[in-house]
């Protein structure tokens, strides 16, 4: 079987190397370690002036050394030789909120460290650099075969992957992970280095960083200054270190120079980052499940919860600070689900998928060997999806309504660690961990709000979930208010003093008698039971998907193929370009500060314009950042991005920073499943607007001096980036 697995690996290599330079669409989130073999020729034909080694190299500084995973969910870029980071305001939102109080409301007022000593340590915030990528497919798949069931196959794979990870990280400050690609047909080793001392340097007020709020989210035209500034600190020998006053700014292998020359429609653009999840190999049956179960119910549950949260946030400034980040995180993918469903239906994605599947089936049936290898792929997927619908819907309600929706329950889940520790008689470390967890929890918690939300979430759950899937002993619809009130009145989870007292002297009887903990475990145990019931179906789906994608790769020989995004570093390339979403409607590729002033509404918190910004606009005090007296704000490119790309650098043909990606457009919300070349656009904040806000609005000139600015391809008085 090793021979067969090697043939799969060779096929995948061929598919990645067989990049067609005549490809017209800018679709693709390409693996950066293979640019030398594929892709770079097509990029250079579109105008790129870089070599593959300047983008990704193991032996010399390259652009990949300036791109970070920011806070485990976004992307950021290093823009100075002192570890200065640019990312999105919405990516740094939780950190900004963490430092905010009613006396120092950095969400509302912004924050700027005028000296390096003023930069704010931010616990738990991380910056992760990619060190290298290595294909380990042959080794990982060496001992598996098609006669194994999927569970056995995955165990062998996981065991071998763990060995590879341990070998790669041994005696280093690195950590390694083996990730699957192309439906578990390919495996790559990715080696990272994570820095734990990341400090807040600057952030505009939310009236700039979140201008337009939920109304403009995923929309164009856009006038949002969605950026924030952080810095990586390291030990004196430039290694990862937890926060210390002895730490110094990190010295990167490479940082991005910044272009102030601007751009024109048609100019080459490149985005590098860590896109989260796409499902472009999903079948029609899976898309139906996404529309009718996942998105439909997420819209329902999050919409109901957000309405209650916003009601309290608008009524009380302290609650607004506590819940701003939670609300924003929830709302982002609530609106995403709405837009995705609309786009998937409008663009007939299900029917297009069915046509592709019919073509695949015809190709498979034309050859006996292909029928043996791939003939059961689509029927297996369809059977698994059909059998999983009820469980998937139920589990989503558990996750969205109860486990994430009711905060008190989420705190209760952590106390299971204490129950286990009490059994073995080792509680001191767990108690310390739970104290820190509880302090962080209560810092951003308002009990009356959570109590109100809990009642609504329980009602939704009871209305939509069959009682056979309810937790054992779950309360009935008629008694919800009384039941919730009892828990919130009597549980130590609802009282920080009671919980801390318990953690100082924990005992099993008190823990098991607590109504909040009992409720948490009742929910969690049933959730685990349902997840276990789903496992065999999940293995069936994995098998069908693996076979379908392997067959798709074989059928598509000679065409460019890329794996679905999975939070690993990718590169996309394209150009600056507007689009036409509807008949007789044409969107330009750039917006200006004029549009922000036109949108201003002092009675709507989403569209308030800061007084100082209005004054700068009225006097046209834009410094050197506004061509022809107009201040650019945001722009469009054809780069292929998704969630996780937030904060990614948008670079020009020379690898210089021209903007920061922060969104894509409403008309292309289907793109995680089906890319639409005529509609899909990346939305970025223009780097000139970023510099203008830092310099003229905030007056934080030291940051401008720290960066390397390049105008018209000629360096300014600022130092030139040696690695550029």
Catalytic residue at 226? yes
- 55: tokens are 């983008």
Res 39: pLDDT: 83
For the segment 456-470, the average pLDDT, to the nearest whole number, is 96
For the segment 503-509, the average pLDDT, to the nearest whole number, is 96
Res 283: pLDDT: 98
Integer Cα distance of 452 and 488 in angstroms: 10
Nearest to 249 by CA among 235, 266, 261, 262: 235
- 459: tokens are 């009602």
Quick check: 161 pLDDT over 50? yes
Integer Cα distance of 87 and 77 in angstroms: 7
Quick check: 9 pLDDT over 70? no
Res 700: pLDDT: 98
Integer Cα distance of 373 and 369 in angstroms: 6
pLDDT band at 692 (very low <50, low <70, confident <90, very high): very high
Quick check: 290 pLDDT over 80? yes
* Share above pLDDT 90 across residues of the chain, in percent, rounded to a whole number: 90
* Share above pLDDT 70 across residues of the chain, in percent, rounded to a whole number: 95
Integer Cα distance of 625 and 66 in angstroms: 24
Res 627: pLDDT: 87
Integer Cα distance of 318 and 3 in angstroms: 63
Quick check: 654 pLDDT over 60? yes
Quick check: 10 pLDDT over 70? no
Quick check: 2 pLDDT over 50? no
Task: Write out the H or E segment, with its range, that includes residue 323.
Answer: helix 317-346
Contact between residue 533 and residue 444 where contact means Cβ atoms under 8 Å apart? no
Phi, psi of 116 (to 5 degrees): -60, -35
Res 665: pLDDT: 95
Neighbours of 511 (CB within 10 A): 18
Neighbours of 358 (CB within 10 A): 11
- 238: tokens are 């430039």
Using DSSP's 3-state secondary structure scheme, residue 495 falls into: coil
Integer Cα distance of 312 and 323 in angstroms: 9
Tally of CA atoms within 13 A in the half-sphere of 624 that contains its CB: 9
CA-based radius of gyration for the chain = 26
> Whose structure tokens read 């490809």?
23
Phi, psi of 569 (to 5 degrees): -60, 130
Quick check: 309 pLDDT over 90? yes
More confident site: 61 or 477 = 61
Integer Cα distance of 659 and 651 in angstroms: 7
pLDDT band at 171 (very low <50, low <70, confident <90, very high): very high
pLDDT digits (tens, 9 = 90+) for 322-352: 999 899 999 998 999 999 999 999 999 999 9
> Whose structure tokens read 């995180």?
329
Report the Cα 131 to chain-centroid distance in Å: 20
Using DSSP's 3-state secondary structure scheme, residue 300 falls into: helix
> Whose structure tokens read 């030789």?
81
Integer Cα distance of 70 and 340 in angstroms: 26
Res 431: pLDDT: 96
Integer Cα distance of 682 and 642 in angstroms: 9
- 379: tokens are 């029927």
Res 432: pLDDT: 95
pLDDT digits (tens, 9 = 90+) for 529-557: 999 999 999 999 999 999 999 999 999 88
Q: Bridge partners of 231?
A: 84, 199
For the segment 394-406, the average pLDDT, to the nearest whole number, is 98
Neighbours of 5 (CB within 10 A): 20
For 365-432, the DSSP string reads HT-HHHHHHHTTHHHHHHHHHHHHHHHHHHHHHIIIIIITT-HHHHHHHHTHHHHHHHHHT--HHHHH
For the segment 457-468, the average pLDDT, to the nearest whole number, is 96
Residues in the chain: 724
Q: Please say whether the dihedral angle defined by the alpha carbons of residues 180, 181, 182 and 187, taken in this order, is positive or negative.
A: negative
Quick check: 1 pLDDT over 60? no
For 435-453, the DSSP string reads HHHHHHHHHT--HHHHHHH
Integer Cα distance of 611 and 619 in angstroms: 12
Mean pLDDT score across all residues of the chain = 93
Res 426: pLDDT: 82
Quick check: 188 pLDDT over 80? yes
pLDDT band at 718 (very low <50, low <70, confident <90, very high): very low
Contacts of 587 (CB under 8 A, 6+ apart): 220, 221, 578, 579, 580, 581, 636
Nearest to 305 by CA among 422, 464, 85, 452: 452
Nearest to 274 by CA among 442, 445, 71, 457: 71
Integer Cα distance of 646 and 273 in angstroms: 8
pLDDT band at 358 (very low <50, low <70, confident <90, very high): very high
Count Cβ atoms within 10 A of the Cβ of residue 605 and give its class: 0-12 exposed, 13-18 middle, 19 or more buried.
middle
3-class SS string, 585-603: CCECCEEEHHHHHHHCCCC
Integer Cα distance of 363 and 357 in angstroms: 10
More confident site: 67 or 3 = 67
For the segment 681-701, the average pLDDT, to the nearest whole number, is 98
Q: Where are the domains of the chain?
A: 284-547
Integer Cα distance of 434 and 424 in angstroms: 17
Neighbours of 172 (CB within 10 A): 11
Quick check: 8 pLDDT over 60? no
Res 712: pLDDT: 66
Quick check: 681 pLDDT over 60? yes
Selected catalytic residue, list 38, 65, 71, 90: 90
- State the Cα angle at 309 between 306 and 314, rounded to 5°: 120
Quick check: 317 pLDDT over 50? yes
Phi-psi region of 246 (alpha: psi -120 to 50; beta: other; left: phi over 0): alpha
For the segment 682-688, the average pLDDT, to the nearest whole number, is 98
Quick check: 6 pLDDT over 90? no
Distance of CA 328 to CAs 108, 307, 321, 331, 414, Å? 14, 12, 11, 5, 24
Question: Directed axis angle between helix 150-169 and helix 515-555, to 10°?
Answer: 90
Selected catalytic residue, list 646, 648, 670, 671: 646
Q: Which of 11-25, 208-222, 425-439 has the lowest mean pLDDT?
A: 11-25
Report the Cα 252 to chain-centroid distance in Å: 24
Res 38: pLDDT: 74
Task: Write out the H or E segment, with its range, that includes residue 54.
Answer: helix 52-55
Integer Cα distance of 419 and 507 in angstroms: 8
Integer Cα distance of 694 and 673 in angstroms: 37
Contact between residue 308 and residue 337 where contact means Cβ atoms under 8 Å apart? no
Neighbours of 264 (CB within 10 A): 9
Residue 696 is given by DSSP the state I
Using DSSP's 3-state secondary structure scheme, residue 325 falls into: helix
pLDDT digits (tens, 9 = 90+) for 581-634: 999 999 999 999 999 999 999 999 999 999 999 999 999 999 999 988 999 999
Residue 585 is given by DSSP the state -
Catalytic residue at 646? yes
For the segment 672-682, the average pLDDT, to the nearest whole number, is 94
- State the Cα angle at 518 between 516 and 523, rounded to 5°: 95
Selected catalytic residue, list 226, 514, 640, 695: 226
pLDDT digits (tens, 9 = 90+) for 51-72: 999 999 999 999 999 999 999 8
pTM across the whole model = 0.90
Res 25: pLDDT: 65
Contacts of 252 (CB under 8 A, 6+ apart): 65, 66, 78, 81, 83, 232
Q: Bridge partners of 112?
A: 202
Phi, psi of 170 (to 5 degrees): -60, 135
> Whose structure tokens read 């196959």?
153
Quick check: 446 pLDDT over 60? yes
Residue 64 is given by DSSP the state G
pLDDT band at 425 (very low <50, low <70, confident <90, very high): confident
For the segment 64-93, the average pLDDT, to the nearest whole number, is 97
Quick check: 139 pLDDT over 80? yes
Phi, psi of 39 (to 5 degrees): 95, -45
Neighbours of 139 (CB within 10 A): 18
Quick check: 7 pLDDT over 50? no
- 48: tokens are 């790129």
């Amino acid at each position: 079987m090793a021979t067969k697995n090697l043939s799969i690996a060779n096929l995948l290599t061929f598919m990645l190397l067989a990049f067609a330079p005549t490809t017209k669409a800018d679709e693709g989130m390409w693996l950066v370690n293979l640019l030398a073999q594929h892709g770079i020729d097509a990029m250079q034909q579109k105008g790129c002036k870089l070599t593959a080694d300047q983008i990704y190299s193991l032996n010399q500084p390259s652009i990949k050394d300036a791109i970070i995973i920011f806070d485990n969910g976004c992307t950021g870029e290093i823009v100075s030789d002192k570890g200065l980071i640019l990312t999105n305001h919405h990516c740094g939102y939780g950190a900004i909120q963490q430092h905010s109080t009613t006396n120092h409301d950095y969400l509302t007022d912004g924050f700027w460290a005028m000296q390096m000593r003023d930069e704010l340590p931010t616990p738990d915030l991380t910056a992760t650099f990619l060190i290298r990528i290595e294909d380990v497919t042959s080794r990982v798949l060496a001992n598996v075969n098609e006669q194994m069931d999927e569970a056995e196959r995955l165990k062998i794979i996981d065991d071998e992957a763990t060995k590879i990870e341990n070998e790669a990280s041994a005696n280093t400050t690195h950590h390694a992970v083996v990730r699957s690609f192309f439906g578990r047909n390919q495996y790559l080793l990715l080696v990272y280095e994570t820095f734990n001392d990341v400090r807040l340097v600057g952030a505009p007020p939310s009236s700039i960083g979140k201008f337009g709020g939920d109304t403009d989210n995923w929309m164009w035209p856009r006038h949002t200054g969605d950026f924030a500034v952080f810095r990586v600190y390291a030990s004196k020998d430039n290694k990862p270190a937890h926060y210390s006053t002895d730490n110094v700014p990190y010295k990167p292998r490479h940082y991005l120079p910044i272009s102030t020359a601007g751009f024109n429609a048609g100019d080459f653009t490149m985005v590098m980052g860590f896109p989260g999840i796409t499902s472009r190999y999903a079948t029609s049956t899976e898309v139906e499940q996404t529309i009718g179960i996942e998105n439909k119910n997420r819209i329902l549950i999050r919409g109901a919860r957000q309405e209650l949260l916003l009601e309290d946030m608008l009524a009380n400034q302290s609650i607004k600070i506590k819940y701003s980040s939670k609300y924003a995180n929830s709302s982002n993918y609530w609106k995403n689900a709405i837009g995705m469903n609309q786009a998937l239906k409008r663009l007939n994605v299900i029917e297009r998928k069915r046509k592709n599947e019919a073509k695949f089936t015809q190709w498979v049936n034309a050859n006996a060997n292909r029928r043996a290898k791939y003939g059961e792929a689509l029927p297996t997927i369809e059977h698994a999806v059909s059998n999983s619908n009820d469980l998937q819907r139920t589990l989503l309600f558990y996750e969205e309504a109860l486990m994430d929706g009711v905060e008190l329950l989420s705190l209760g889940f952590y106390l299971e660690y204490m129950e286990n520790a009490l059994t073995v008689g080792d509680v001191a470390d767990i108690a310390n961990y739970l104290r820190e967890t509880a302090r962080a929890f209560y810092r951003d918690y308002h009990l009356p709000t959570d109590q109100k939300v809990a009642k609504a979430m329980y009602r939704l759950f009871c209305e939509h979930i069959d009682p056979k899937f309810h937790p054992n002993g779950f309360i009935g619809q008629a008694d919800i208010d009384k039941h919730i009130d009892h828990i919130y009145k009597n549980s130590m989870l609802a009282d920080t003093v009671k919980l801390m007292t318990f953690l100082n002297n924990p005992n099993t009887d008190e823990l098991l008698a607590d109504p909040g903990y009992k409720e948490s475990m009742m929910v969690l145990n049933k959730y685990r039971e349902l997840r276990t019931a789903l496992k065999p179906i999940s293995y069936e789906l994995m098998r069908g998907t693996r076979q379908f994608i392997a067959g798709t790769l074989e059928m598509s020989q000679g065409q460019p193929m890329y794996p679905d995004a999975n939070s690993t570093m990718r590169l996309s390339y394209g150009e600056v370009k507007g689009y036409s979403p509807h008949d007789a409607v044409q969107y330009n590729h750039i917006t200006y500060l004029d549009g922000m002033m036109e949108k201003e509404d002092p009675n709507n918190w989403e569209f308030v314009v800061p007084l100082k910004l209005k004054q700068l606009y009225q006097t046209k005090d834009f410094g050197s950042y506004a061509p022809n007296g107009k201040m650019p704000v945001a722009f469009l490119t054809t780069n292929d991005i998704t969630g996780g790309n937030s904060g990614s650098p948008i670079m020009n043909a020379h690898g210089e920073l021209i903007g920061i990606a922060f969104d894509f457009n409403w008309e292309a919300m289907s793109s995680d499943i089906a890319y639409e070349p005529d509609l899909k656009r990346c939305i970025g904040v223009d780097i000139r607007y970023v510099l203008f806000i830092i310099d003229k609005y905030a007056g934080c000139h030291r940051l401008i001096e720290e960066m390397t600015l390049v105008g018209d391809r000629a360096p300014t008085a600022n130092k030139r980036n040696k690695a550029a």
